[in-house]
């Protein structure tokens, strides 16, 4: 029997499950939209119903007795308050929800180090402080913590990646003392372990619900962003991953933490390495303002990626950029416009590729290692002409991404936890 590990991803639109073998090959996967289970994607009951359904679908395709471990990833910065048995006491605050209480934000700004990811209205710490006064609150958990607890029964544990925006010090590996100075009750914060750590075993009820062995390990997971990086197979210092979605996001595995609040950069700890990166306001949403997807595909087929248009574009939807240039007033640069639509699209693709190159250069200037390879995910990764333009500009190896599913990255953590615990024998 080949042992299996399962990764579960809960996102803003759906739930996904992936089972992988020890050689990282995917044995099965399943995905279901949250809207099938209720209109309120903020409702933890909807999260759990969607996850239970997608896991049930996955388990139909594999030998349940082969499952050794399960891990969960969730949206970074999504928090909810719970009572002593894990029941939610209020609607969660999602990753992009803002805390509008100026006293809370001022308390954090007054004592938090500049390098902390806890700054800002969407920070996990700000949300925890807002939940703190609720009657009966025993813990404030991250989304992935609460889902994992449905399997383990442990409503008191988190991982280092999800805890980062709540103020966790990943270098010292502890909740820092300054958090208490914000007025936060430290007992409401969960214990924190490294991603990939065995945090518990399936409860009898969870094992019976899914027909799984009771000794299946529940392994500490991560954020959706870290999981997506791990899914690609990038594991060496200098490996980069570029996400070409509606926005342009780049990440690189570093041998040291990188912190640059000006650019919105902080580092997640992954074992003995660090994942650093930034997000540009450029990307696919700019292309979509000017071309339909069908037109992009049609025009891309006519692009010669080995020649330059000579145009120096900085494609933005509106003024303002944070990374790799920190300038809230930076104007879009999309002129002069050539007569040819093909050349216009090509110049935009060249411009976004130049931003990508500048992003990796900026990370190196801030202390990250030199880029040695790139794996690409997102819709733009399928554009052959754009890939050729990017390869020419970056000048490094372009490697295939093993998977673009965050759940596959989380499954790798589950596999690592099972291996460390000797469960793969």
pLDDT digits (tens, 9 = 90+) for 288-347: 999 999 999 999 999 999 999 999 999 999 999 999 999 999 999 999 999 999 999 999
284 lies in the same domain as 201: no
Q: DSSP state, 188?
A: G
Q: Is the pLDDT of residue 264 over 80?
A: yes
189 lies in the same domain as 287: no
Q: How high is the pLDDT of residue 12? A: 85
Burial 44-81 (b: 16+ CB within 10 A, else e): bebbbbbbbbbbeebbeebeeeebbbbbbbbbbbbbbb
Structural domain of 394: 236-399
| C-alpha 313, offset from chain centre | 29
Per-residue pLDDT band at 358 (split at 50, 70, 90):
very high
As a whole number, the mean pLDDT across the chain is 96
Q: How high is the pLDDT of residue 206? A: 98
291 lies in the same domain as 350: yes
For the segment 12-23, the average pLDDT, to the nearest whole number, is: 95
175 lies in the same domain as 279: no
CATH code, domain with 264: 3.30.420.40
356 lies in the same domain as 413: no
Q: How high is the pLDDT of residue 172? A: 96
For the segment 360-381, the average pLDDT, to the nearest whole number, is: 96
315 lies in the same domain as 178: no
Q: How high is the pLDDT of residue 424? A: 86
193 lies in the same domain as 296: no
92 lies in the same domain as 9: yes
Determine the 3-state secondary structure of 272 from DSSP. Answer: coil
Q: What share of the chain is helix, strand, coil (3-state, %, to 5)?
A: 35, 25, 40
Instruction: List the beta strands (DSSP E) in 186-313.
Output: 191-193, 198-201, 217-223, 239-244, 248-254, 267-270, 273-280
**Does residue 425 belong to any structural domain of this protein?**
no
Q: How high is the pLDDT of residue 177? A: 97
**Does residue 150 belong to any structural domain of this protein?**
yes
Given the DSSP bridges, would you call strands 157-159 and 267-270 parallel, antiparallel or unpaired? Answer: unpaired
121 lies in the same domain as 175: yes
- Burial class of residue 231, CB neighbours in 10 A (0-12, 13-18, 19+): buried
Cβ atoms 81, 69 nearer than 8 A: no
Q: How high is the pLDDT of residue 315? A: 97
Per-residue pLDDT band at 39 (split at 50, 70, 90):
confident
249 lies in the same domain as 216: no
295 lies in the same domain as 341: yes
Per-residue pLDDT band at 243 (split at 50, 70, 90):
very high
Please state, in angstroms and rounded to a whole number, the distance separating the CA atoms of residues 158 and 265.
22
Determine the 3-state secondary structure of 241 from DSSP. Answer: strand
Please give the helix or strand (H or E) that residue 289 lies within, else none: helix 284-290
- Burial class of residue 39, CB neighbours in 10 A (0-12, 13-18, 19+): exposed
In the chain, the number of structural domains is: 2
Q: Give 134-156 pLDDT, tens digit per residue.
A: 999 999 999 999 999 999 999 99
């Amino acid at each position: 029997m080949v042992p299996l590990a399962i990764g579960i991803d809960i996102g803003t639109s759906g739930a996904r499950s992936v089972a992988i073998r020890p050689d990282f090959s995917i044995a099965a996967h399943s995905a279901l939209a949250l809207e099938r289970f209720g209109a309120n994607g903020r409702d933890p009951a909807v999260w759990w119903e969607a996850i239970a359904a997608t896991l049930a679908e996955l388990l139909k395709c594999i030998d349940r007795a082969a499952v050794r471990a399960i891990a969960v990833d969730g949206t970074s910065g999504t928090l909810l308050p719970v009572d002593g048995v894990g029941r939610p006491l209020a609607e969660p605050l999602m990753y992009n929800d803002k805390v509008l209480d100026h006293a809370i934000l001022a308390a954090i700004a007054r004592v938090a180090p500049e390098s902390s990811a806890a700054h800002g209205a969407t920070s996990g710490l700000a949300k925890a402080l807002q939940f703190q006064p609720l009657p009966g609150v025993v813990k404030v958990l991250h989304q992935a913590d609460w889902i994992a607890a449905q399997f383990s029964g442990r409503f008191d544990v988190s991982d280092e990646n999800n805890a980062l925006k709540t103020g966790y010090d990943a270098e010292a590996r502890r909740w820092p003392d300054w958090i208490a100075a914000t007025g936060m009750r430290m007992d409401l914060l969960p214990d924190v372990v490294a991603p990939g750590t065995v945090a518990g075993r399936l409860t009898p009820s969870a094992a019976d619900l899914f027909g799984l062995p009771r000794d299946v390990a529940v392994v500490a997971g991560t954020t959706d962003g870290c999981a997506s990086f791990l899914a690609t197979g990038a594991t060496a210092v200098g490996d980069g991953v570029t996400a070409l979605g509606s926005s342009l996001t780049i990440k690189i595995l570093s041998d040291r933490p990188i912190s640059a609040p000006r650019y919105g950069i902080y580092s997640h700890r992954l074992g003995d390495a660090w994942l650093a990166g930034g997000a540009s306001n450029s990307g696919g949403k700019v292309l979509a303002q000017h071309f339909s997807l069908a037109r992009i595909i049609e025009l891309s087929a006519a692009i010669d990626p080995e020649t330059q248009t000579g145009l120096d574009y900085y494609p933005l939807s509106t003024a303002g950029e944070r990374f790799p240039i920190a300038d809230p007033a930076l104007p879009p640069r999309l002129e002069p416009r050539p007569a040819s639509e093909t050349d216009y699209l090509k110049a935009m693709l060249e411009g976004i590729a130049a931003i990508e190159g500048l992003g990796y250069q900026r990370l190196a200037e801030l202390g990250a290692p030199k880029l040695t390879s790139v794996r690409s995910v997102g819709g733009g990764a399928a554009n052959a002409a754009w890939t050729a333009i990017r390869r020419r500009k970056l000048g490094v190896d372009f490697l295939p991404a093993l998977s673009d599913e965050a759940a596959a990255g989380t499954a790798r953590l589950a596999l690592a936890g099972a291996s460390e615990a000797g469960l793969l024998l």
